[in-house]
């Protein structure tokens, strides 16, 4: 092993910056920084943001997860004893509280400078992770053996053409969860592609940490993260390395899970966040707190089934179409994602290694499970906001596999079609970034609703397509 001094000199002599590698992150920051909601709409925020910022302030100012009922919308609160807590997963607020502690000591607070404080927290909690996503995809795409310009294009598209860019301008947990899930996959790819996988113990632990962090930020991530254990077991290494990799993955996953469990015990007392159950049930509580634990309601299905099972089938078929091709469909907003599916199909070719095929299948199956979770539940599509916020979790990972499709030769006509779909998806994503999370939601094709908001100025019921009485 060469001395540390020689290794350091070799590092100094090598390139420090990859211009193609930082292209995606720079473009994300250039587009997002002037579009962050605290700058474009100061004083306005969604119920989700209000509850999270109230928890962050309570953690720093009072060392507790408990918040005053007047500090957050009643629909976001649950009561435990005489205390009120946000119904969201608590770990994201805990992470942001560290940044807010530094900001408060610098004189930037949510009381004195609310817009600036909210801007910085949005930048730290959402925008920077999304920019990092582009860098991750660029690094991970080395497995496809693409030239650097193609890798940079794929990395940029993974953010700009998937809707992830739309949610980089508001404070939400879906975007950083998508980044953490991608980081977990990237860590496993690094070990599997390494010439010395036996030395990849730290990467296995990092993969577990990132996968668990994604899950505690956005719980449906477990539907994809769990498959990473199967990927480790299919690596082309010795049985001892595979078993050790699984154990190290689980060890790395322990801190986020412990943090979530402890915070849930000290806070709301619910291990499964109430916000997730509320989204799946389609119920939005607008009464004065306390808000009860929401249960999934299938009484409507039973009523339909008593008349005809075809009505139940028609209902969920319609919901599936809405989630894929309808007003909140991921393909009706970002049709370029279909090439991610084509890439997964390309990986099924015999020349690809087993672990790569397993990872591709895990992406597809996990994405279908997340889609099915919300399409075959009682989730209210108005709460899906722009496109579908619940699907942001897996879309950059899905488009990442388009790199396998790019390896194959294609006609100029096919590349022309890709260019058109890429342009449309990017335009829709940028339109959504102007206001992806309005309090009134979207009732019709969300790209059209967001465009009307942009043209008309302040969001109105007319622009979003939502009936005014729906908020009462």
- The partner residues of 85 in beta bridges, in order of sequence, read 78
Map residue 138 onto helix, strand or coil.
helix
Those residues whose C-beta lies under 8 Å from the C-beta of residue 196, and which sit 6 or more positions away, are: none
**Spatial distance between the Cα atoms of 217 and 94, rounded to a whole number of angstroms:** 11
What per-residue confidence (pLDDT) applies to 307? 60
Q: Which segments of 63-146 does DSSP mark as H helices, in order?
A: 91-105, 114-122, 128-140
Please report, in tens digits, the pLDDT of each residue of the chain (472 residues total): 456 667 667 666 666 567 888 999 999 999 999 999 999 888 788 888 999 999 999 999 999 999 988 888 888 889 888 899 999 999 999 999 999 999 999 999 999 999 999 999 999 999 999 999 999 999 999 999 999 999 999 999 999 999 999 999 999 999 999 999 999 999 999 999 888 877 888 999 999 999 999 999 999 999 999 999 999 999 988 888 899 999 999 999 999 999 999 999 998 888 889 889 888 987 654 333 444 444 445 555 555 555 666 777 777 888 999 999 999 999 999 999 999 999 999 999 878 999 999 999 999 999 999 999 999 998 999 899 999 999 999 999 999 999 999 998 999 999 999 999 999 999 999 999 999 988 888 888 999 999 988 888 754 444 444 333 333 2
Q: Which segments of 270-308 does DSSP mark as H helices, in order?
A: 274-281, 299-307
- Picking from 362, 384, 356, the residue whose alpha carbon sits closest to that of residue 145 is 356
**Spatial distance between the Cα atoms of 446 and 391, rounded to a whole number of angstroms:** 14
Q: Transcribe 146-177 into DSSP letters.
A: --HHHHHHHHHHHHHTSSTTGGGSS--SHHHH
Token pair of 211, please? 């996968």
**Spatial distance between the Cα atoms of 160 and 347, rounded to a whole number of angstroms:** 24
Map residue 293 onto helix, strand or coil.
coil
**Spatial distance between the Cα atoms of 230 and 253, rounded to a whole number of angstroms:** 15
Torsions phi, psi for 85 (to 5 deg) = -135, 155
Those residues whose C-beta lies under 8 Å from the C-beta of residue 391, and which sit 6 or more positions away, are: 163, 323, 330, 367, 370, 371, 374
CA angle, 43 as apex, 38 and 49 as ends, to 5°? 65
**Spatial distance between the Cα atoms of 437 and 140, rounded to a whole number of angstroms:** 30
Those residues whose C-beta lies under 8 Å from the C-beta of residue 100, and which sit 6 or more positions away, are: 56, 57, 59, 60, 110, 117, 121
**Spatial distance between the Cα atoms of 345 and 352, rounded to a whole number of angstroms:** 11
Cα–Cα separations (whole angstroms), residue 34 to 5, 40, 85: 44, 7, 32
What per-residue confidence (pLDDT) applies to 464? 42
Q: Which segments of 227-288 does DSSP mark as H helices, in order?
A: 227-233, 239-266, 274-281
370 close to 222: Cβ distance less than 8 angstroms: no
DSSP-assigned letter for residue 278: H
Those residues whose C-beta lies under 8 Å from the C-beta of residue 121, and which sit 6 or more positions away, are: 53, 56, 96, 99, 100, 103, 171
- Picking from 300, 324, 333, 310, the residue whose alpha carbon sits closest to that of residue 374 is 324
**Spatial distance between the Cα atoms of 158 and 155, rounded to a whole number of angstroms:** 5
CA angle, 467 as apex, 464 and 468 as ends, to 5°? 100
pTM: 0.89
202 close to 243: Cβ distance less than 8 angstroms: no
**Spatial distance between the Cα atoms of 29 and 25, rounded to a whole number of angstroms:** 6
Torsions phi, psi for 79 (to 5 deg) = -110, 140
Token pair of 450, please? 């967001």
Those residues whose C-beta lies under 8 Å from the C-beta of residue 18, and which sit 6 or more positions away, are: 138, 148
What per-residue confidence (pLDDT) applies to 180? 98
Those residues whose C-beta lies under 8 Å from the C-beta of residue 26, and which sit 6 or more positions away, are: none
DSSP-assigned letter for residue 67: -
């Amino acid at each position: 092993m060469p001395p540390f001094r020689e290794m350091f000199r070799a590092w100094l002599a090598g390139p420090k910056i990859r211009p193609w590698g930082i292209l995606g992150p720079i473009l994300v920051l250039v587009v997002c920084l002037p579009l962050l909601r605290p700058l474009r709409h100061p004083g306005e925020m969604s119920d989700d943001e209000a509850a999270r910022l109230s928890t962050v302030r309570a953690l720093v100012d009072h060392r507790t997860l408990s918040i005053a009922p007047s500090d957050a919308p009643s629909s976001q609160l649950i009561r435990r004893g005489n205390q009120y807590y946000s119904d969201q997963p608590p770990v994201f607020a805990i992470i942001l509280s560290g940044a807010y502690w530094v900001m408060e000591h610098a004189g930037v607070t949510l009381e004195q400078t609310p817009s600036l404080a909210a801007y910085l927290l949005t930048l730290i909690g959402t925008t920077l992770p999304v920019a990092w996503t582009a860098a991750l995809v660029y690094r991970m795409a080395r497995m496809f053996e693409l030239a650097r310009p193609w890798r940079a294009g794929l990395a940029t598209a993974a953010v700009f053409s998937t809707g992830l860019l739309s949610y980089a301008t508001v404070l939400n947990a879906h975007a950083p969860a998508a980044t953490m899930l991608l980081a977990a996959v990237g860590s496993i790819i690094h070990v599997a592609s390494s010439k010395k996988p036996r030395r990849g113990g730290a990467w296995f632990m990092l993969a577990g940490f990132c996968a668990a962090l994604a899950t505690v930020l956005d719980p449906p991530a477990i539907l994809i993260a769990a498959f990473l254990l199967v990927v480790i077991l299919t690596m082309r290494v010795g049985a001892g390395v595979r078993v050790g990799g699984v154990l190290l993955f689980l060890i790395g996953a322990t801190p986020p899970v412990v943090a979530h469990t402890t915070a849930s015990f000290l806070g709301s007392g619910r291990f499964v966040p109430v916000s997730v159950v509320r989204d799946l049930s389609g119920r939005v509580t607008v009464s004065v707190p306390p808000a009860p634990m929401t249960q999934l309601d299938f009484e409507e299905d039973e009523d339909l089934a008593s008349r005809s099972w075809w009505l139940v089938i028609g209902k969920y078929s319609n919901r599936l179409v809405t989630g894929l091709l309808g007003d909140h469909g991921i393909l009706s907003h970002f049709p370029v994602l279909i090439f991610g599916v084509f890439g997964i199909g390309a990986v099924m070719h015999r020349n690809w290694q087993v672990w790569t095929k397993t990872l591709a299948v895990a992406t597809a199956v996990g994405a279908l499970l997340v889609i099915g979770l919300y399409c075959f539940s009682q989730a209210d599509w108005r709460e899906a906001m722009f496109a579908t916020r619940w699907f942001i979790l897996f879309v950059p990972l899905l488009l990442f596999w388009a790199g396998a499709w790019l390896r194959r030769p294609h006609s100029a006509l096919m590349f022309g079609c890709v260019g058109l779909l890429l342009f449309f998806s990017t335009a829709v994503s940028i339109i959504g970034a102007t206001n992806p999370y309005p309090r009134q939601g979207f009732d019709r094709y969300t790209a059209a609703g967001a465009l009307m908001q942009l043209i008309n100025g302040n969001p109105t019921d007319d622009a979003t397509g939502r009936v005014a009485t729906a908020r009462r």
